[in-house]
Structure 1
Amino acid sequence: MGVRLAWLPPFIIPSPTEVIAALVRDWPNLMHHSQVTLMQALIGLGIGVMIAVVLALIMDSLPLIRQAVYPLLVVSQTIPTVAIAPILVLWLGYDMAPKIVLVVLTTVFPIVINLLNGFSHVDQDAVQLLKLMGANTWDILKHVKLPGALPYFFSGLRVSVSYAFVGSVVAEWLGGFEGLGVYMIQKKNAFSYDHMFAVIAVISLISLLFIWLVSLIEHFSMPWLHRDTKRSHAKKGT
């Protein structure tokens, strides 16, 4: 609207129709670079999830480890991503390695914090009951803690998914040969802002798609939760 009313010059902010036209015209290039960014983000996210789950389990089982590691995790989030990325590029080169490491660093924290929060909010009466029945740590984890912490895990995973793609693109800005971040910088330097906004649209669409996939997996992973929610809504309706 601002562009059409001449409030803003079109060479600074292109109109939506120009962005859509650039998206259609440049679709093959966008898909090629999207594959690179997507691969980096998914590999980093997968590694980050595994590290986060293991770290959360260790921190929940060993209070001393939790007291030592938790402050370090919090401090790590105060360091801007754009400050870490150049260092990783210097250390690991311009290939996929620094992008994957940056994605791992940005995705671990939300999952660890949410899982620890979930473990602390499980039904303590159920935990005590299992202990009285002679259950070991694995039994308590399997039957009480993990099922109880699943909603918290998926909440953290949704945040980490969005962080994964943003982290991958930021790393590509500062060094790389392919990917949506590299392509965006190329279009910015060429003053092709309609193509640059098309890249932004693709990044947003990919992030929204994977957040939706996480919600879908959550729905099928916790059928009991959604069944209870439907029952509570039915009771309120009556």
Structure 2
Amino acid sequence: MSAARQPARARRLSLGALRAGLAIALAIAGWAILVRAAALPPFILPGPERVARTLWTSRALLAEHAVITLIEVLAGLVIGAILGFAMGVVLAVSRPARILLRPLLVFSQAVPVFAIAPILTLWLGYGLGSKIVMTLLIIFFPVTSAFYDALMRTPPGWRELGDVMGARPWRQMWHLRIPAALPGFASGLRLAAVYAPIGAIIGEWVGASRGLGYLMLLANGRAKTDLMFAALIVLAILTLLLYAAVDRLARWIAGPEA
């Protein structure tokens, strides 16, 4: 990134952080006003101060379960990104693969994830495996789809240059089409970073003994709504941090303009 663009990018980041902070402050204020104005009991909707106190007093418990969920999300994200990259390349180079596999990919998204989760739990047990596979299934399609679409939109001039130089299809794929499609792959990774926690939480809801999703169900069953909200806030923070990290990785892979 040039030196001239760095101050402008820093200003945009500062302005974005300011807007996000203002939005969060307004949301918390509205939350507190609603609880007080409606006189809602804590087991229905605890106030923000009560949830903040639970976040602090239960920080060790929340951290313990957050680590498990983070492991599931990261493992599913990495495996799903690798498989999505490979599948995108296969679909781009093989017409029979497009004919046979693309309908299966679409069908995999037509089946509700809640219907798949119990089956995975039955097959893989209540450990990390079923949650990782659930995360993988949710992010595999957006990564594959975004990367495949980008591979099929390689600038014609690049491909003509490869033909003139006598490059074979696989060399064109590696040296021309994949580099040109990296911004599309980066877009798929960003979507995956948002969707990945959904798969892990759904898997934990269906059957688990650890994780933020399990903790939410446990807190809900014991009417500890403040703990349930605290776990939800931790999950939201993890998702935002994951998205920020993946966004930086995507810019490193595909360039600052991706």
1:17 equivalent among 29, 44, 49:
49
Matching residue of 1:149: 181
Between the aligned partners of 1:218 and 1:45, the Cα distance in structure 2 is 13
1:93 equivalent among 114, 120, 125:
125
1:134-145 counterparts in 2 under 5 A? 134-145=166-177
1:189 equivalent among 221, 229, 232:
221
> Are 2:145 and 1:113 aligned?
yes
Q: Which runs of 5+ in 1 are unaligned?
A: 230-238
Matching residue of 2:231: 199
Alignment check: 8 A CA contact 1:73 1:109 kept = yes
Q: Which runs of 5+ in 2 are unaligned?
A: 1-32
Query: What do the CA deviations read for 1:190-231 (whole angstroms, capped 9, x no partner)?
Result: 1001110111111111111011111111222334x53xx9xx
Between the aligned partners of 1:145 and 1:204, the Cα distance in structure 2 is 36
2:254 equivalent among 207, 213, 222:
222
* Runs of 4+ residues deviating >6 angstroms: none
Superposed displacement of residue 88, structure 1: 0.8
Query: What do the CA deviations read for 1:26-72 (whole angstroms, capped 9, x no partner)?
Result: 11011111111111111111111111111111111001211211111
Alignment check: 8 A CA contact 1:123 1:144 kept = no
The alignment partner of 1:77 has SS state of helix
1:64-79 counterparts in 2 under 5 A? 64-79=96-111
Identity over the aligned pairs, expressed in percent? 35
Instruction: Give the alignment's Cα RMSD to 1 decimal.
Output: 1.5
The alignment partner of 1:2 has SS state of helix
Matching residue of 2:205: 173
Letter in 2 for 1:3: V
Superposed displacement of residue 182, structure 1: 0.9
Between the aligned partners of 2:177 and 2:40, the Cα distance in structure 1 is 54
Matching residue of 2:116: 84
2:72 equivalent among 29, 40, 53:
40
Matching residue of 2:6: none
How many residue pairs match? The answer is: 226
Letter in 1 for 2:97: I
Query: What do the CA deviations read for 1:139-169 (whole angstroms, capped 9, x no partner)?
Result: 2123321121111111111111222111111
Between the aligned partners of 1:192 and 1:30, the Cα distance in structure 2 is 14
Q: 1:116 to 1:7 in 2, by over 3 A?
A: farther
Matching residue of 1:6: 38
Letter in 2 for 1:122: T
Superposed displacement of residue 8, structure 1: 4.0
Between the aligned partners of 1:171 and 1:61, the Cα distance in structure 2 is 34
TM-score by length of structure 1 reads 0.90
The alignment partner of 1:4 has SS state of helix
The alignment partner of 1:10 has SS state of coil
Between the aligned partners of 2:98 and 2:106, the Cα distance in structure 1 is 12
Superposed displacement of residue 138, structure 1: 3.0
Query: What do the CA deviations read for 1:166-190 (whole angstroms, capped 9, x no partner)?
Result: 1111101111111111111110101
Matching residue of 1:209: 241
Matching residue of 1:236: none
Matching residue of 2:17: none
